[in-house]
Amino acid sequence: MAGGRMIRPASGLTGMRIAHLIESDGPGGAERVVAQLATALQGAGTENVVFLPAHGEGWLAGQLHGSGVAIEHFHVDRPISPACARSLEDAFRRHRIAVAHSHEFSMAVYGAWSAWRAGIPHVITMHGGRYYAGRLRRRLALRTAIALSGRTVAVSNCLAGDISRSLRMRRSRIVTIPNGVRYTPPERVTLRDELRLGPRDRLVVSVGNLYPVKGHRHLVDAVARLDRRHPTLHVAIAGRGELEEALALRAIDHGLTDRIHLLGLRSDIAAILAAADVFVLPSLSEGLPLALLEAMFAGRPIIASDVGEVAVALGYGEAGVLVEAGNPRALATALDAMLSDPNQARQLGARAARRAAAEYDVSRMVHRYVVTYEELVRETSLRVAGRAARHAR
């Protein structure tokens, strides 16, 4: 089940073995997509193997525990590792993999290489563009991987356009499949008690790892601008990363030490969202972030940077407020307006929940990938049959 709907793969995929490859197993958006996709497919009758880096964090393996999804590990011993490609090829053959599906740059390259060697169809999904676009060698490597693959998927139309331009390839070569999430309402909501907030305190929540691209410093700066108008405004940021100390120091500089709460890595995101008066996505760059979709499912009033597919997800402002990325003044203005008009905020949250249910349930994402896999398997079978017929003449 996903979002209340049973996911049924096309009949040609039942019992089929699908490989999912990703270069990191930490708690990121792409990793969560892999976990949701593999477990949904496993429950719908396919056999799935997730390939993870050796000596990784183990977060993604933990998410897959008990799902029936098999786990294999790979090791990249150098920037260009024929040994890694051979080991992946051997694993594909050993597991009798029918389709290999790689996520993000590194495994797009190694997955395409290994699937080509094994003679099986390959799918690439790109969740972002910052990992390859600035380096010529990486762009050339990704172009080659795409040429060896049956399908290339971007999680947003904006990202698909960026890939097309940066790699100088036809836009029609890239399919868009938006991310989806499985939303389960929380049983308990304790964050406000945890932070010792009173009934008059207002709480803004942001979810995302503490990296520069997530723009959390602009959120801190925006709250500083609202200090006099909203002296009981608190911010809770769920995520971990390299900027934790820098954000804490920024809060001190603004005199907000007691009102900026860095929660670290949390597993109770639904409960954290349920505690929020407003959800803010201050990112400088995104594809289609899962945190935004989860906030929509939770019915939170949303303020988000106008980047990537965010505007599409929010109905171009119908289901949330869009602001210029990296602009604390614009973010502060939007926050002030939303906090000052609770009725409008509730209406935005309700619209966001309706859009999420209609467009971004995980079952829709899984169905689109199922169709992609089935098309590739059918195309591969026709090519094999055609070659066999030509040799028989």
pLDDT in tens, 190-233: 999 999 999 999 999 999 999 999 999 999 999 999 999 999 99
User: Does some domain include residue 124?
Assistant: yes
- Please indicate, yes or no, whether residues 125 and 248 belong to a single structural domain of this protein: no
Domain that holds residue 383: 11-182+361-392
Looking at residue 385, its pLDDT comes to: 66
Looking at residue 4, its pLDDT comes to: 45
User: Does some domain include residue 6?
Assistant: no
CB 353 within 8 A of CB 244: no
The CA-atom distances, in angstroms, between 269 and each of 33, 42, 263 are: 15, 24, 11
CB 32 within 8 A of CB 290: yes
- Please indicate, yes or no, whether residues 20 and 110 belong to a single structural domain of this protein: yes
Which residues share a beta bridge with 47? 17
Q: CA quadruple 192, 196, 202, 207: dihedral positive or negative?
A: negative
- Please indicate, yes or no, whether residues 52 and 84 belong to a single structural domain of this protein: yes
- Please indicate, yes or no, whether residues 171 and 207 belong to a single structural domain of this protein: no
User: Does some domain include residue 233?
Assistant: yes
The CA-atom distances, in angstroms, between 65 and each of 92, 136, 181, 297 are: 21, 39, 19, 25
Ramachandran class of 50: left when φ > 0, alpha when ψ lies in -120 to 50, beta otherwise: beta
- In the three-class reduction of DSSP (H, G, I as helix; E, B as strand; rest coil), residue 261 is classed as strand
- Please indicate, yes or no, whether residues 338 and 368 belong to a single structural domain of this protein: no
CB 63 within 8 A of CB 87: no
- Please indicate, yes or no, whether residues 176 and 198 belong to a single structural domain of this protein: no
- Please indicate, yes or no, whether residues 95 and 222 belong to a single structural domain of this protein: no
User: Does some domain include residue 236?
Assistant: yes
- Please indicate, yes or no, whether residues 345 and 375 belong to a single structural domain of this protein: no
Looking at residue 8, its pLDDT comes to: 54
Tokens describing residue 73: 């590990």
User: Does some domain include residue 339?
Assistant: yes
User: Does some domain include residue 349?
Assistant: yes
Which H/E stretch holds residue 368? Answer: helix 362-392
User: Does some domain include residue 4?
Assistant: no
The DSSP code sequence of 271-326 is HHHHT-SEEEE--SS-SS-HHHHHHHHTT--EEEES-TTHHHHTGGGTSSEEE-TT
Q: How many domains does the chain have?
A: 2
Which residues share a beta bridge with 70? 49
Q: What's the pTM value of the predicted model, to 2 decimals?
A: 0.87
User: Does some domain include residue 3?
Assistant: no
Looking at residue 79, its pLDDT comes to: 76
Q: Is 251 exposed, middle or buried (0-12, 13-18, 19+ CB in 10 A)?
A: buried
- CATH at 76: 3.40.50.2000
Residues of the chain with pLDDT under 70: 1-12, 129-134, 384-388, 391-393
- Please indicate, yes or no, whether residues 236 and 284 belong to a single structural domain of this protein: yes
d(CA 56, CA 200): 43
- Please indicate, yes or no, whether residues 84 and 212 belong to a single structural domain of this protein: no
- Please indicate, yes or no, whether residues 229 and 174 belong to a single structural domain of this protein: no
Tell me the per-residue pLDDT of 340-386, one tens digit each, with 9 for 90 and over.
999 999 999 999 999 999 999 999 999 999 999 999 999 988 776 66
- Please indicate, yes or no, whether residues 340 and 381 belong to a single structural domain of this protein: no
